[in-house]
Amino acid sequence: MFRATLFKIILIVPAVLFCQFSRVSISVDAQLLRSSEKQILGPLEQEISRFFTSTEFDQEYNDLGIELQIQLIFEGTSIKGSAQTFMAQTLFSNGTDQRFFDKAVQFVYAPNQSLYYDPVKFESLPSFLAFYASIILAGEIDTYEPTGGTSQYETARTIALRGAASDYSRGWDNRVQLVDDLSSNGPLRRARFHYYYGDELLRDQNPERALEEFQAMLSELDRVFIRSPRERYTLLFLKANAPQLTRDLVILNRIADLEHLSTLDPDNRDLYLGRERPNEP
């Protein structure tokens, strides 16, 4: 099914049947915490998983089924008023081409606390989780519709600005900058759509249209690298997709395009030039 047509189909299916995140894998490292602090965090993994799989973050794109990976590394605690505040580093990933490391997390968590996202009220932990949910959703939606994730980026920006003005402001200025960097990178956002749509067109036996999408993708990548030759999130996108992209361009006999990619993305040069080429389907 084409990504360009999936959007229309999602709109007519009842939202209650679907979720944006279908599975959440969580890894927690709490070795720096006291035993009593670890006990407080006992239900946290299950509660975070429930938060992502039961919250509707977007009313239009419901049947995405993203498999989310989260790592939490706790650094310590402090007392802020009557609340116990946890400090941690986190890693959020969709397992493919989106990966975000956050080294300055600060949130309140009480024993057996339930997490619910309020789009109006800022709360240190639910709002933090919703911020990265919105970031990852925006990147995913961009693959179905060119720059279609804009509204989710705006949601993330709103959360980040509230966080920066809150009593738990640690790290939120950096998150404002993150969403600004991601949302303003129009060439990468369009390149992601062209790649995924081109790959599906090729699978659907439409090589002419697939080639048009891949050519559009390369044009957008050129724009990214003219501005920033080592742009982090573009390199993550290429690292995740280089094997399949290489297969697709080999099928289309686009050797010149592979050579061009090798200059844009030298980290995968051997793959593009056939020295480590994946097996053809």
pLDDT in tens, the chain (281 residues): 346 544 433 333 333 445 799 999 999 999 999 999 999 999 999 999 999 999 999 888 988 999 999 999 999 999 877 788 999 999 999 999 999 999 999 999 988 889 999 999 999 999 999 999 999 999 999 999 999 999 999 999 999 999 999 999 999 999 999 999 999 999 999 999 999 999 999 999 999 999 999 999 999 999 999 999 999 999 999 999 999 999 999 999 999 999 999 999 999 999 999 876 555 54
Same domain assignment for residues 179 and 192: no
Same domain assignment for residues 154 and 190: no
| Domain end point (choices 148, 183, 218) | 183
Is 278 contained in some domain? Answer: no
Q: How far apart are CA 27 and CA 47, in angstroms?
A: 13
**pLDDT for the residue numbered 247:** 97
**pLDDT for the residue numbered 278:** 57
**pLDDT for the residue numbered 111:** 84
Q: How far apart are CA 217 and CA 187, in angstroms?
A: 9
Same domain assignment for residues 244 and 108: no
Q: Where are the beta strands (DSSP E) in the chain?
A: 21-29, 66-80, 83-93, 99-108
Domain total for the chain? 2
| Domain end point (choices 134, 155, 183) | 183
Same domain assignment for residues 248 and 201: yes
Is 101 contained in some domain? Answer: yes
**pLDDT for the residue numbered 1:** 39
Is 165 contained in some domain? Answer: yes
Cα distances (Å, whole numbers) of residue 205 to 8, 14, 211:
22, 31, 11
* Contact call for residues 44 and 70 (beta carbons, < 8 A): no
Q: Please name every residue paired with 79 in a beta bridge, in sequence order, or none if there are none.
A: 84
Q: What is the pTM of this model?
A: 0.91
**pLDDT for the residue numbered 14:** 39
| Domain limits for position 200 | 186-272
* Contact call for residues 97 and 236 (beta carbons, < 8 A): yes
Same domain assignment for residues 137 and 210: no
